[in-house]
Amino acid sequence: MLRKVPLIMFAIVLTGYGFLNGQTEKSKISPAKAQVLEGVYEFVSETTILTKPKPLIERRLASEWSGFWLFQNGHFSQTLMKKRRSYSLFPPTQHELKYESSAGSYSLEGNTVLLTRTLSLHPFGVGRSTTFEYRIEEGTLTLTETMYPYKEDLSEGQRVTVLRRIK
């Protein structure tokens, strides 16, 4: 199993790269508007504050997690994984797997970005859209998501993801 992980990661990144290079559906976002986010970003931190179903604060830091977000031509690809993981059994959920990946299209309106997942490691992610408020300051992209409950996840709260532009 350990030998298959790099191959799986390569396949997901390659799929995301192909997606970003327009080998799938065409983007509906204008090239000039897309340049606001366009680039490669590395994961810095993520803070999730849940108010329901029970209060919880969860933090992920670059010292334990690694990941990249790519934005190009109205498409995105996102991969995040815990640096050290157990490989005894393949977990049933992304959260337990400690690996997340998705790709799709994005659109911008004002200070919000709407991500629509066409590909996702987790089956419930396919077709799901997420809206973030975004802010870019000195090479740092901050994405703030207000979380609302839905059928598969009853969580309510807010998630703030911080990324550093590397290209």
pTM: 0.75
Q: What are phi and psi of 50, to 5 degrees?
A: -95, 140
The pLDDT, as a whole number, for residue 36 is: 79
Residue 63 confidence (pLDDT): 95
pLDDT value of residue 122: 81
Cα separations in angstroms, 1 against 66, 83, 88, 100, 105: 20, 16, 9, 18, 31
Q: Which domain holds residue 148?
A: 4-165
Instruction: Give the pLDDT score at 25.
Output: 46
The alpha carbons of the chain give a radius of gyration, in whole angstroms, of 16
Walk along the chain (167 residues) and give the pLDDT tens digit of each residue: 444 444 444 445 444 544 444 444 444 555 555 567 899 999 999 999 999 988 999 999 999 999 999 999 999 999 999 988 766 666 666 667 788 899 999 999 999 999 999 999 888 888 889 999 999 999 999 999 998 887 777 889 999 999 999 98
Tokens of 142: 């901050």
Q: What is the pLDDT of residue 33?
A: 58
**CATH number for position 102:** 2.40.128.490
At 92 the pLDDT is 63
The number of distinct structural domains making up the chain is 1
